[in-house]
Chain A
Amino acid sequence: MLLYLFKRIILMIPLLIGITIISFAVIHLAPGKPTDMSTMMNPKASLEAKKRLEQLYGLDKPLHIQYWNWFKRLVVLDFGRSFSPDRELVLNKIARRLPITILISVLSMVLIFIVAIPIGILSATRRNSLFDKITTVFVFIGFATPTFWLALLMMILFGVNLGWLPISGLKSLEYENFTFWGQIWDRTAHLIMPVLLSAFGGLAGMSRYMRSNMLEVIRQDYITTARAKGVSERMVIYKHALRNALMPVITILGLSVPGLIGGSVIFESIFAIPGMGQLFYSSVMSRDYPVVMGGLVIGAILTLAGNLLADISYALADPRIREGRS
């Protein structure tokens, strides 16, 4: 197991290097320079000042040297400083916001798991029943629904018309005055809509995926064997079939990480949640290149971490891989 883990991590190193090259190339191969924003906006900036600024950021050197300098700092987790007036360290900026996005992503993964799996099992075991047909319709509509639109509709319904849920931020203004339980409820209420929406796209996909997995597994010989030797249908479905149908789900959960993180841009900016997605979006809008590059790298690393976690869980769950520990 440890050896397996070690191999997986070693294989990630070339990918990590590739990630840094692409993140760097995206920003630097484009026309215009990162300093254009601050010099063009300022009519007093002379040609000389412009040169000085470029020198400060090392933009006067050839591209591969710039990359190498940036990469050397990355290795020790130095992402540089933000272009914003406070000149904060990019790493601090991201570290402050990342936990919020990860919290919402994990909560929505849990939600996807506990809602979509039973739906998938039920529609597979009762194939072509009314339940199956209704969920199929919902799945198709779910695939076609723009999440940000659903967010607007939910804000109108639950936030504006009914007034049940808050529509922005992570806590209320008068949060400090609440009792302990009041504070807990306040936090929860602020998370309900973002988590639901972040999970929404995955719900449709996962229930569909679970349904076809289940249908596939039920057709296998070992299920026929189990039935033939007189195992009850409940046992066949929930023990023999389910265990095998769940295996690929682990991988899919791992693969859903980039989607969840990418999606955070949309619902975090709608609900004004100070997470990674909102940071990335606002840095893009203000052309804060160090933060954009840092965000790209961190986003891709999280994806790799998600895949690694999925691989580990898969290995733990599948005896064929687990046995290889010796």
Chain B
Amino acid sequence: MRPGNLTQDFLRRFMENKLALLGGALVLALFVVSFLAPWLAPHNPNYIDVKAILIGPSSNHLFGTDHLGRDVLSRMIWGSRISLKVGFVAVGIATLIGVVLGALAGYYGGLVDSSIMRFVDLMLCFPAFFLILAVIAILEPSIWNIMIVIGVTGWMGVARLVRAEFLTLKTREFVQAARVLGASDLRIIFVHILPNALAPVLVSATLGVAGAILTESALSFLGIGVQPPTPSWGNILTAGKDNISIAWWLSLYPGLAILITVLGYNLLGEGVRDALDPRLKE
């Protein structure tokens, strides 16, 4: 089969799946909103207006204002940038670590494999949220540290996945052919096998973005993630909690934004998986 056919098949199956398209559209919307934030936001997200503290939704402030009189909609629009960044950087780090360790374990087998996989088992023993909190306790809470920590504690699934792919792929004829031709181990791993194992990695990365966004928002909500005045959906919700009995709008809208974004990435990820391998779809 020519590669063109596979791509076309993939695209056709993807386009036929309405939920996958919805997911794609939601993710696209996140990109558009965060790139166009300066033009879309009706107000300056950090402008403090002491005369407009905790005002409910109105035509001037569609989603109301927070405890410092800042416009919630504008803060949410700017906050989308955080979610976008966290998703990409944290999952990028996790994927990189997972792919390298999984590839080494699957390709070399033996002692390399068992030591890497025992390390994976070990990392999975820790409640992820405990580990993340402990590391953040030491580092300063900042957007970069958050992304690194989420990445460094989230690579185990990818490693298992890549290892499994390598275990089957390394016995294939094209790998033997490459070896006969004198290709080095590194070349076989990264040039010959890895491209064939990337599809499931892509799917798990897309689903991983959803998880990373949820984790970041929870950390920011607890006050150890993105620090104010930088707006993030999680830290707007902190203000929502502090004013829970008087300002429902502070709690409702940012959470909805998280839900919709995470839903988008999940639908997109599942859609890509079903389109890559229709047999997986029950």
Chain B, interface residues (CB within 8 Å), range: 35 or more
**B134 contacts A27, CB within 8 Å?**
yes
**A284 contacts B133, CB within 8 Å?**
yes
Is B118 in the interface zone, CB < 8 Å from A? Answer: yes
Is A145 in the interface zone, CB < 8 Å from B? Answer: yes
Closest to A12 in B: B125
Contacts of A141 in B (CB 8 A): 259, 263
A100 to chain B, nearest CB (A): 16
Contacts of A115 in B (CB 8 A): none
Is B214 in the interface zone, CB < 8 Å from A? Answer: yes
A272-306, CB < 8 A from B: 280-281, 284-285, 287, 292, 295-296, 299-300, 303-304
Complex CA gap A215/B281 in Å reads 12
**A152 contacts B255, CB within 8 Å?**
yes
**B126 contacts A22, CB within 8 Å?**
yes
Is A19 in the interface zone, CB < 8 Å from B? Answer: yes
Contacts of B259 in A (CB 8 A): 141, 144-146, 149
B176 to chain A, nearest CB (A): 34
Contact of A265 among B125, B138, B222 (CB under 8 A): B222
Contacts of B210 in A (CB 8 A): 143-144
Closest to A219 in B: B282
Complex CA gap A23/B137 in Å reads 13
Contacts of B260 in A (CB 8 A): 144
**B134 contacts A26, CB within 8 Å?**
yes
Contact of A262 among B130, B241, B245, B258 (CB under 8 A): B130
**A19 contacts B130, CB within 8 Å?**
no
Complex CA gap A108/B160 in Å reads 29
Contacts A26-B131, A153-B251 known; A146 to B214 CB distance under 8 Å?
yes
Is B205 in the interface zone, CB < 8 Å from A? Answer: no
Complex CA gap A310/B222 in Å reads 32
Contact of A258 among B121, B127, B237 (CB under 8 A): B127
Contacts of B139 in A (CB 8 A): 30
Contacts of B218 in A (CB 8 A): 146-148, 266
Complex CA gap A270/B267 in Å reads 29
Contacts A146-B217, A149-B255 known; A303 to B126 CB distance under 8 Å?
yes
**B255 contacts A261, CB within 8 Å?**
no
B210-236, CB < 8 A from A: 210, 214, 217-218, 221-222, 224
A1-45, CB < 8 A from B: 14-15, 18-19, 22-23, 26-27, 30-32
Complex CA gap A143/B138 in Å reads 30
Contact of B262 among A143, A150, A259 (CB under 8 A): A143
B114 to chain A, nearest CB (A): 11
Is B32 in the interface zone, CB < 8 Å from A? Answer: no
Interface centre among B135, B210, B244, B260 (most CB of A within 10 A): B244
Is B191 in the interface zone, CB < 8 Å from A? Answer: no
Contact of A296 among B131, B222, B266 (CB under 8 A): B131
Contact of B124 among A31, A140, A258, A296 (CB under 8 A): A258
Complex CA gap A155/B214 in Å reads 20
**B241 contacts A152, CB within 8 Å?**
yes
B56 to chain A, nearest CB (A): 14
**B224 contacts A18, CB within 8 Å?**
no
**B127 contacts A152, CB within 8 Å?**
no
Complex CA gap A287/B127 in Å reads 19
**A144 contacts B263, CB within 8 Å?**
yes
B94-141, CB < 8 A from A: 118-119, 121-131, 133-139
Complex CA gap A199/B272 in Å reads 29
Is B157 in the interface zone, CB < 8 Å from A? Answer: no
**B214 contacts A30, CB within 8 Å?**
no
Q: A149-B258, A295-B130 are in contact. List 16 more A-B contacts (CB 8 A).
A: A15-B121, A15-B125, A22-B123, A32-B138, A144-B210, A144-B262, A146-B218, A149-B237, A160-B245, A258-B124, A265-B222, A266-B222, A284-B133, A284-B136, A300-B125, A304-B125
21 contacts between A and B (CB under 8 A): A19-B122, A23-B134, A26-B131, A30-B135, A144-B266, A146-B214, A147-B218, A148-B237, A149-B237, A149-B254, A153-B252, A156-B248, A160-B244, A258-B125, A258-B127, A261-B130, A262-B127, A262-B129, A266-B218, A269-B222, A303-B126
Those 3 A-B pairs whose CB atoms lie nearest each other, nearest first: A149-B255, A262-B129, A262-B127
